[in-house]
Amino acid sequence: MDLPPLCGPRGSATLRRVEPEATPPRPLRLAVVCPCYDEAAGVRQFFARLAPALAELRPAVDARVLFVDDGSADGTLAILEELAQEHPEVAVCGFSRNFGHQAAVSAGLELAAGADAVMVLDSDLQHPPELIREFVARWREGADIVHGVRRSTADAGPLKRLSSAAFYAVFNRLSDVALREGAADFYLLSGRVRAVLAAMPERARFVRGLVAWVGFRRAELPYDAPARAAGESKYGPLRMARMALDAVLSFSVAPIRLATHAGLAVSALGALYLAYVVVRHLAYGDLVQGWASLLCVTLILGGAQLLFIGLIGEYLARAYTELKARPLYVLARPLAGPLWPADREPPRGPAA
């Protein structure tokens, strides 16, 4: 049997090496977490703008949308399930009741395991979906956290702007964690930041503060927040005040230390008043005893004591809540499956 010669044109023996076919890298996995609460009037309009924004990222980025229904009572969950049936890249889960926006964001971060990055934005169109491309670009440049920072809000009145500025001023004054004024729950997190946040067990959560607390390399993306597309804001003054209180007490022990400083100040004033009484009595002997001053001092001290007992009670209540270790949320409508098939490949970074 004749065999083909293994020689080149000059007679030198050569073997032709067959190179294996290179396996193309898989696309980067981006999970887009969208909390929803009574957004039936505008959630389809929101997705109509979100879908084209994500289509611009393909094929380099495999984007999946995760809607977290926070116990809506207006049919939002039914609309989200219809979107999931119409679009394979959409996944939906629903709470058994309203657990709050922070719980919905936390659930999205936990359920987005396997993502290389997670984008969080509200579904009321005050966080423009068209900016997601810019968030991804900053992440691929090396930032682990890309935070959207509001320059203005179209439907914010003077009172809301003033209260927002006051919150950031008080929080940054009392807490060791600095929050950028205007920073919203509109951010992109790398896979490792998501894993750190998902592993935090605390129940009284202020996710925006946790994102600032974890550190890592970060970037900012300024934007102008438009008015809501439909419906009304679910955060009234009382709910905003409650969230502000949770934020301050979760990241600072300065308020409870204020009781010590106030006690020292009241004791010093009492000593000064006692010295005044003694000097007045010895020098003039005309000190008039009155019930008015005694009543005022009693009321002031009693009010201060009740105030600080209540403040201590707030910290004890949070310790009690953490000690019970109840779940942060309960799913009545779990995910049909993972956002991506399980594999052994770890999440990829922006430079992968």
Residue 321's φ and ψ, nearest 5 degrees, are -65, -45
* DSSP string for residues in 270-298: HHHHHHHHHHHHHHT--PPP-HHHHHHHH
Which DSSP letter does residue 13 get?
Answer: B
How far apart, in whole angstroms, are the C-alpha atoms of residue 195 and residue 347? 10
Q: How many angstroms separate the CA atoms of 347 and 352, rounded?
A: 9
Same domain, 67 and 209: yes
Range of the domain at 306: 254-324
Q: What is the mean predicted confidence (pLDDT) over 24-48? A: 87
Let me know whether 71 and 167 are in one domain: yes
DSSP class per residue in 229-245: SSS--S--HHHHHHHHH
190 domain residue, yes or no = yes
Q: What are the tens digits of pLDDT across the range 89-134?
A: 899 999 988 888 888 888 899 898 888 999 999 888 888 899 999 9
- Does residue 338 form part of some domain? no
The total number of structural domains that make up the chain = 2
pLDDT tens for each residue of 180-202: 777 778 889 998 899 888 888 77
Q: Using alpha carbons only, what angle is made at residue 12 by residues 10 and 17, rounded to the nearest 5 degrees?
A: 115
d(CA 330, CA 309): 33
pTM higher than the cut 0.85: no
Q: Give percent of the chain with pLDDT exceeding 70.
A: 58
Assigned domain for 350 exists: no
128 shares a domain with 178 = yes
For the ranges 30-34, 54-58, 117-121, 282-286, which has the lowest average pLDDT?
A: 282-286
Identify the residue with better confidence: 251 or 36.
36
